[in-house]
Structure 1
Amino acid sequence: MKRDHSPVLPGDGATDYARYMRLETLLDLQRRPEQVVHRDELLFQVVHQAAELWLKLATAELTEAAARLDADDPAAAVPLLDRATLGIRLVTDQLEMFRHLAPEDFQAMQPALGNGSGAESPGWRHVQSASRRLGRAFADHLTRQRIDLSALRARNPTEPLHRLAEAMVEWDERVALWRVRHYQVAIRIGGHGVAGTAGSPANVLVRLIDHRFFPELWRLRRNAAAATADVAAS
């Protein structure tokens, strides 16, 4: 018996796949051929729009991870943070598409961008806010459990709280790597002066590269490494 594939979901589109994914809206979010000033605008928009979607997902995962910590369930927070981190890796990987965008082509499309800048990304702002929220939830959980942060490295590495701390460091590192790659792209195709050049947008990117959401966890690792080195030297 032939299966009926007629759509049953409400919305626009000839299939339920198109309706659920809202494809007509999604594929209409890029500038139309008669609007573009350079053909590579499609490449530029797809990369950035996809990044905003991955950042939206990462924010949702971070927010839920913080909620799980509020409920004193660090084990449940770990896979959520891992998913957010993978989203940032994918945001970083897709920047490779800009290898196919020459500086002169980027300059040709510049009028279409107006005064827009990646620094205005709502996805990035939401990720920042959610990361700070996770940091506060982690600190509050330690307080409720009467766990001193300095003793965290001595705990069993298979324990959920230890794994969560490692996942938070991994998140921080992946975000920094994304910003490094973004900086390199800005220098390569954007015509920005290198960091230190007066008025260069690259200066903002460099400050973001050095930022850490969870500096206390990085200090903990440095202190542990220093203590190990001291023992080895004695």
Structure 2
Amino acid sequence: MKRDQSPVLPGGGATDYARYMRTDELLDLQRDPADMLHRDELLFQVVHQSAELWLKLAEAELAEAVARTTADDPQAAASLLERATLAVRLVTDQLEMFRHLSPVDFQAMQPALGNGSGAESPGWRRVATVSRQLGRAFTAHLATRGGRLGALDPTDPTRRLAEAMTAWDERVSQWRVRHYEVALRVGGHAPAGSPGSPATVLAKLIGHRFFPELRSARPDTDVPAATHSRTAQA
């Protein structure tokens, strides 16, 4: 006998999948084709909107990692941070779609963007804020373990968390490199160092790390606590 697949969840949508995933609303968030200046606006919006969703997940994982670090559970914090790192890898990978967006086509659609800039991404700003919170939480946690990362056993969960934090920094840096390359190729920005070029700011951020002390830490050295005061844009 065929199972009844009529929707049982509340809300709009012809199926429970549509209602739970809210696909009707999700797929209505892009500009109507009749309003587009160029058909590649759809590509541009899908890449950026999906990035904001992955960053929302990354922020949630980071926030829980902060809570677990504060609760002296570095093992759980490391697992959560690894999930956030994978989310940013996916954000980076989808920038490959812009290989199919030519500078000429981008210029044609640019008036539709107004004064919008990727620097205004709420997802990246929130991720940066929580990353700094994680740095402070880790410093406080490490202080309870003697303050010397290199003195801990290699199998210590705190070491795993430190490695996950370093991997997070590296993944974010890789995203920034790809973003910079896209800005030069598609956005037509002049290279870093050119007067007034927005690419100069992007290039400076490539070298930024949320946890630089973890890269420079050596056995039996203290991890400094004063390196987490970063700008909101970093």
Q: Normalized against structure 2, the TM-score is what? A: 0.91
The structure richer in helix per residue is 1
Q: 2:166 aligns with which of 166, 169, 179?
A: 169
Contact 2:151 2:220 in 1 (8 A): no
CA shift, 1:199, in A, is 1.0
* Equivalence for 1:84: 84
Answer yes or no: is 1:219 the counterpart of 2:221: no
Answer yes or no: is 1:152 the counterpart of 2:149: yes
CA distance in 2, matches of 1:222, 1:189: 44
Aligned residue type for 1:211: H
CA shift, 1:223, in A, is 10
After superposition, the Cα gap between the structure-2 partners of 1:221 and 1:206, relative to the gap in structure 1 and judged at 3 Å, is farther
Answer yes or no: is 1:200 the counterpart of 2:189: no
Structural mapping, 1:1-234, within 5 Å: 1-143=1-143, 145-148=144-147, 151-220=148-217
CA distance in 2, matches of 1:38, 1:10: 37
Root-mean-square deviation over aligned CA pairs: 1.4
CA distance in 2, matches of 1:195, 1:223: 39
CA distance in 1, matches of 2:88, 2:124: 11
Where in structure 1 do 4 or more consecutive aligned residues deviate above 6 Å?
none
Aligned residue type for 2:127: V
CA distance in 2, matches of 1:185, 1:214: 26
Q: Deviations over 1:190-227 (max 9, x none)?
A: 01000001111101111211111011112215999xxx
Aligned residue type for 1:192: H
Q: Deviations over 1:46-88 (max 9, x none)?
A: 0000100011100000000000011111111011000000001
Q: Normalized against structure 1, the TM-score is what? A: 0.91
After superposition, the Cα gap between the structure-2 partners of 1:195 and 1:14, relative to the gap in structure 1 and judged at 3 Å, is same
Q: Deviations over 1:95-119 (max 9, x none)?
A: 0000000000000001101100000
Aligned residue type for 2:149: L
Aligned residue type for 2:6: S
CA distance in 1, matches of 2:117, 2:145: 44
Q: Deviations over 1:131-172 (max 9, x none)?
A: 0011111011122x2422xx3124222221000000000000
